[in-house]
Structure 1
Amino acid sequence: MVQATIAVVHEHGYAGTNTQTIARRAGVSRGAMLHHFGTRAALMAEVVRHVFDGEMAEYEATRLATGLGNRLEDWPKILWSVLGRPSGMAVLEILQATRSDAELAQSVIPMQEEVERSALAVMRSAFGGDETLARTVMRLMVWSVRGLSIAERYLPHREENDAAIALLSGLLGLAAPDGKMASLARIANTP
């Protein structure tokens, strides 16, 4: 059902997604789907978790296979290759919908906070840095890439978006030539 939900949200946006369409896409009854997840909001929270878990596994597989990901400057490129996919765009749609859907926000925001804590722990383990600095750098990378993913979807200019990712990577490389978080501490304005 999670894959069906991702496909429907990606195709129709969050506002155009309903449990009946998801159930039909998944090949199950709406009742069976709601029995398993309880509410549409709970299903959306599970989508956020499922996508994050898949992305983390992919990032690690990429790092092990290619070595890409061992330096901070690698991450904008890695994120760019993953977050603009249908699953990443579906999560972005879900996150944006929390602004106007209180039930969704109640289910999804705690899941997103858990996802961020997990990613932060991995990032700090790999690159050091205190929690505040690591969160700042992670958000800069993730949300810059998410924003460019939106631009790519609605204002597709692949060369310019690729250049923006390369620039962000380059700036991180200049700011942290050793590829570690501590180098950024001197220029980051974090408490």
Structure 2
Amino acid sequence: MATPHEPKQDRSRATRQRLLEATIDCLAEHGWAAATVSVVAERAGVSRGAAQHHFPTREDLITQAVEYMFDTRMDQVKAEAMALGQVDQGAARTLAVVTALVESYSSQLFKAALQVWTHAAADEALRSRIVPLEAKVGRVAHRVAVEALGVDDSDPVAHHLVQATLDLARGLGLADVLTDDSARRKEIAEQWAATLHVALTTPR
């Protein structure tokens, strides 16, 4: 929480960030319809007027929250890659990579993104903004997975196995939206990691 002694610009930046994070939480927990300026402002602990000062319309708020969400997702993926770089090579590293990717698709950010994707399917203006952002996230996630696994992405088999891993992670994330699917998700991730490691290390 900002204090009266903080510079006005810092307080403004902090308020803006709280509003964006509150928007993401509202989307993830209560859905698209509930993510109104009034609800978000209350959750962020600011007045509706302050919220509208930063984001005059709900569309402005949602759009900026989407961009913040995608930037945050990419930062998290890159941070996870750096951590995975400390894991020894071998089956343990493959499991660590697969687990990290799977868990990234069961986070609040993914659940919020899912709400946006669903709405964007029927909103051409929103879809035109979301598609390139999601494509960018997909490219970053693929590159990070390739680097973390230490594979040659020019090899078509390796390329498709990495993409299959990302698709599997997304699918498991969808399965977790309605019910807690963590136990099954863990078992599938472990089995896929073992299968993936053999496939990636078998000479072709």
TM class by shorter-chain length?
0.7 to 0.9
CA contact (8 A) 1:14 1:97 kept: yes
Deviation per residue, 1:114-166 (Å, 9 max, x gap): 22223333344442222866663343222312221232332434332221111
TM-score (norm 1): 0.74
Which ranges of structure 2 fall in alignment gaps of 5 or more residues? Answer: 1-18
Do residues 17 (structure 1) and 35 (structure 2) align?
yes
Do residues 26 (structure 1) and 44 (structure 2) align?
yes
Q: Using the alignment, how far apart are the partners of 1:110 and 1:63 within structure 2? A: 27
CA contact (8 A) 1:77 1:165 kept: yes
Who wins on radius of gyration, i.e. which is larger?
A: 2
Which ranges of structure 1 fall in alignment gaps of 5 or more residues? Answer: 187-191
The two structures, once aligned, show a CA RMSD in angstroms of 3.1
Match of 1:46 among 68, 74, 78: 68
Q: Which moved more, 1:158-167 or 1:21-30?
A: 21-30
Q: Using the alignment, how far apart are the partners of 2:111 and 2:38 within structure 1? A: 21
Distance change in 2, residues 1:116/1:31 (3 Å) = same
TM-score (norm 2): 0.70
Question: Match of 2:201, SS?
Answer: coil
Do residues 99 (structure 1) and 121 (structure 2) align?
yes
Q: Using the alignment, how far apart are the partners of 1:95 and 1:41 within structure 2? A: 12
Which amino acid counterpart does residue 162 of structure 1 have in structure 2?
Answer: K
Distance change in 2, residues 1:101/1:82 (3 Å) = same
Match of 1:121 among 127, 137, 143: 143
2:104 alignment partner in structure 1: 82
2:200 alignment partner in structure 1: 176
Do residues 164 (structure 1) and 164 (structure 2) align?
no
Deviation per residue, 1:3-28 (Å, 9 max, x gap): 21221111112343223322332234
Q: Using the alignment, how far apart are the partners of 1:123 and 1:156 within structure 2? A: 25
Q: How many residues align?
A: 179
Match of 1:144 among 155, 163, 168: 168
Distance change in 2, residues 1:67/1:10 (3 Å) = farther
Instruction: Report % sequence identity.
Output: 19
